[in-house]
Chain A
């Protein structure tokens, strides 16, 4: 928090406000106001996560106690043992990991290629606009009904109950997002970058791989994390395509703890909390790219 109190007065509304006369009291009030807002937003964001965390260490009795128990009173590992030892949640987690990583790699490779093509090349007529829009429109299809034909499709190619089927499908779901993000990103990069590489004797493909990709790293990191999250958490499609432990993903395992008679709240909390740890780790690894990468023009800095 030290770097938020620099020597020079900070104006949080810099792009908006114009400070004609410098007023230290007003500045201080404004600053505390901003911190209060950030504090409230963080509390609102984190409280449900804290509650999930807390519940994962509570017995059923404590979870529904009146008055509610707000602190880690008598923590129990029961829920974690039930999910990760008694039930094959480690297996589900492994499946999710394979599927999410596979999807992220495929979607990023193909999406970046297509994004580059749409950003740089010309196509006959209005083909470019139509293709771009068609790509986006594939995300607008209501997923419910496509599930049935896709079920038939994967049964036909003998891929039901495989992680491969999930990777293919999720790659498709994620491509529009990746393509549109990377297309925007490449459009912001000056053409001279590749052109100078090509003058030096490189091919267009070579220039793309050696010059543009490294520059696009922040964009790739930010796009990757959203692809990862989406394929890590997808539920509806996995429900229909996967059958057994060879391909069941975590969200399916978690939903399975809501039975006809009873909901295993503690086990769901434990699995849910454990489930976000791998993504948090990845997010921390790429965090310095995160916000920069989400922006198209940020690379110039």
Chain B
């Protein structure tokens, strides 16, 4: 049977209909600026080193599914996967990633050099910050708090909001009864990844954590309840319909000047400053997260590169990764619109003197004060369960207490399985 199938396959192949060009390396990346950046870098690398690299782009919301399917079926389709950092535990703990230690030894070092931000490198070790290196950071994202200083000044916050209480007070005033169709605050509350991504910074800034020191789910705490209540209060002063909003709706509302503050990813800076896409050019400030009862912390969201255990060209893959994350290349990547992961690039005056990189100091500070999403191989499922209850709470179907109780039970069940 196998021979017959192979024969048929060969026949069709030779008929010329098929034809995957044989590449030395196949890299899976998301659509969007990270993938575009790495694609451009791969072209440069091919010219330089003669290594043929094939870039496979998938929509962001499907890249994990594709990479996970390719890995768990042991197909060896991809040599390198550009991973969003919350996926790292899944790939690492299921043994899909090659440990990089021996390869670093080969080039005479113990690990990534210390020009990389420490928070960025910590992500690439599993367990977090202590385990062996299994990837290299490529794009450095952390959420920022965006707001319109003029509007905040008009309601008595000339220095901007310091705490989430300030945000709520100012936004309540700015939104008023909603008849002006301008809103003080807007948020991502669509079920799934968006609502969780928007909630986590508030959650952390009230001192809550998803897992306690013993890796037990710890959602039924006063801190967590305070955070959910703040989130729901903010939802009340946000535009009607946030229940289906993602990053795009939130960014668009700010860019159109219909909302005055929100959490979002730094990639939006470029849009806010582009007159063809924004009515608020030069008006939007970005800062690190406001405080709650403890210090504000933003959510880190890095793109990192790891080598598949089934890759046939691991050394070539490693060489490419080291090259692509070198200071020179990370700067080129920054020029292509991707936030860097290196101190030297964040502080490069050639960049920071330009308008579209003016947020780099803030962003570096945000990364240094960031928190990673809870590190668990089943994070996609945990995030889904948590997002389900948060969405129900924002939609008014359940109370804050119920949302936490139900999330606690759901996440416990997932982990126990």
Contacts and interface: CB of A to CB of B under 8 A. Distances in A.
A163 B18 CA distance: 7
B248 A262 contact: yes
A7 B58 CA distance: 60
B18 A239 contact: no
Interface residues of B, number: 51
Interface stretch (B6-14, B227-235, B394-402): B6-14
Contact of B268 (A158, A159, A261): A261
A64 B21 CA distance: 42
Contact of B181 (A66, A163, A252): A66
B73 A148 contact: yes
Chain B CB within 10 Å, residue with most, of A155, A243, A244, A263 = A243
B212 to A, nearest CB: 30
Chain A CB within 10 Å, residue with most, of B5, B62, B77 = B62
Contacts of A155: 73, 75, 77
Interface in B18-51: 18-21, 26, 30-33
Interface in A42-72: 59-61, 64-66
Interface in A258-297: 258-263
Interface string A218-258: 00000000000000000000011001101000001001111
Report the contact-size class of chain A (Cβ under 8 Å from the partner). 20 to 34
Contacts of A152: 73, 75
B90 to A, nearest CB: 17
Given A60-B277, A155-B73, A155-B77, A258 B60 contact: yes
Contacts of A246: 19-21
Chain A interface helix/strand/loop/mixed: loop
B301 to A, nearest CB: 8
Nearest to B266: A261
A240 B66 contact: yes
A260 B69 contact: no
Contacts of B5: 156-157
A160 B77 contact: yes
Interface in A138-153: 148, 151-152
Interface stretch (B103-111, B168-176, B251-259, B292-300): B251-259
A255 B31 CA distance: 9
B162 interface: no
A161 interface: yes
Contacts of A161: 20
Interface in B232-253: 247-248, 251-252
B56 interface: yes
A91 to B, nearest CB: 13
A59 B256 CA distance: 12
B54 to A, nearest CB: 6
B278 interface: yes
Given A66-B256, A240-B69, A158 B279 contact: no
B56 A162 contact: no
A187 interface: no
A164 interface: yes
A262 B75 CA distance: 31
Contact of A151 (B21, B73, B252, B255): B73
A151 to B, nearest CB: 6
B368 interface: no
Contact of B56 (A59, A65, A156, A244): A244
Interface in B102-133: none
Given A155-B73, A158-B13, A257 B31 contact: yes
Contact of B62 (A65, A239, A244): A239
Contacts of B10: 158
A60 B65 CA distance: 30
B54 A261 contact: no
A261 B61 CA distance: 11
Contacts of A256: 31, 57-59
A243 B56 contact: yes
B277 A261 contact: no
Contacts of B17: 162-164
Contacts of B30: 259-260
Contacts of B404: none
Contact of B9 (A157, A257, A258): A157
27 contacts: A59-B277, A60-B277, A61-B277, A66-B256, A148-B69, A151-B69, A151-B75, A152-B73, A157-B12, A158-B18, A159-B13, A160-B75, A160-B77, A162-B17, A243-B26, A243-B56, A244-B55, A244-B56, A256-B31, A256-B58, A258-B59, A258-B61, A260-B30, A261-B264, A261-B268, A262-B32, A262-B251
Interface of A: 59-61, 64-66, 148, 151-152, 155-164, 239-240, 243-244, 246, 252, 255-263
Interface of B: 2, 5-6, 8-10, 12-13, 17-21, 26, 30-33, 54-62, 65-66, 69, 73, 75, 77, 84, 181, 247-248, 251-252, 255-256, 258, 264-265, 267-268, 271, 276-279
Given A159-B13, A159-B18, A243-B56, 7 more contacts: A60-B252, A66-B258, A157-B6, A160-B75, A259-B30, A260-B84, A261-B32
